[in-house]
């Protein structure tokens, strides 16, 4: 349980760093004509993968290797963050869709999430340290 929690938090922190870089790129290109903002999609996919591991599955009788099971568990370690280009919206006359205020709020939210995850990892190691003493 400890290793899995730390691994999930570590992966989420890596995604948070990627999200920070994407947000910084969006802010840097806020005045570039026809620039489209990008965002990172990860948490929804991770949630689906974690739910698929715990799902009570109806057992299917697979008598041939070509049979398709009713549901497949997705390993959370296979979930990768996706950069998604927001090409549907336009907020400025020059075709740019970056809202600097929204990006700054996103950056602050991401920073708070990163700090929370790092505190969670620290508390996991603190608990292990207490047990080992």
List pLDDT tens digits, range 10-26: 999 999 999 999 999 99
Q: How far is CA 31 from the centre of its chain?
A: 27
Structural domain contains residue 41: yes
Q: Is 92 among the domain residues?
A: yes
pLDDT of amino acid 100? 93
Answer yes or no: is 51 within a domain. yes
Confidence of residue 56 (pLDDT cuts 50, 70, 90): low
0.85 cut: is pTM over it?
A: no
Q: Give me the helices (H) in 29-93, please.
A: 43-54
Question: Does residue 78 lie within any of the structural domains?
Answer: yes
pLDDT at 55 over 70: no
- Please report whether residue 64 resides in a domain: no
Residues counted in the chain? 133
Model pLDDT, residue 64: 83
Per residue in 60-115, pLDDT (tens digit) is 677 888 877 777 778 888 999 999 998 887 777 888 899 999 999 999 999 999 99
So what's the pLDDT on residue 87? 84
The residues that bridge with 84 in the sheet, in sequence order, are: 39
Domain that holds residue 85: 2-56+72-132
- Which pLDDT value is given to residue 121? 94
Asked if residue 120 is part of any domain, the answer here is yes
Q: Is residue 17 part of a domain?
A: yes
On the question of pLDDT at 41 being above 90, the answer is yes
Residues 117, 111: Cα–Cα separation, whole Å: 10
The count of domains in the chain is 1
In whole angstroms, give the CA distance from residue 29 to residue 114.
24
In a domain, 61, yes or no: no
Closest CA relative to residue 27, chosen from 39, 12, 14: 39
CA atoms of 83 and 72, how far apart (whole Å): 25
Report how far residue 93's alpha carbon sits from residue 41's, in angstroms, rounded to the nearest whole number.
27
- Residue pair 18/38 in contact (Cβ under 8 Å)? The answer is no
């Amino acid at each position: 349980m400890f290793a899995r929690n730390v691994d999930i938090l570590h992966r989420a922190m890596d995604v948070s760093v990627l999200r920070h870089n994407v947000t910084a790129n969006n802010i840097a290109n806020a005045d570039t004509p026809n620039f489209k903002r990008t965002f990172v999609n990860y948490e929804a996919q991770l949630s689906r993968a974690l739910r698929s591991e715990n799902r009570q599955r109806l057992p299917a009788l697979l008598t041939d290797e070509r049979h398709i099971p009713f549901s497949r568990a997705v390993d959370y370690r296979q979930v990768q963050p996706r950069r998604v280009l927001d090409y549907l919206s336009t907020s400025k006359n020059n075709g740019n869709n970056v809202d600097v205020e929204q990006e700054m709020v996103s950056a602050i939210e991401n920073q708070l999430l990163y700090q929370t995850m790092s505190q969670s990892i620290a508390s996991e190691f603190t608990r292990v340290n207490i047990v080992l003493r």
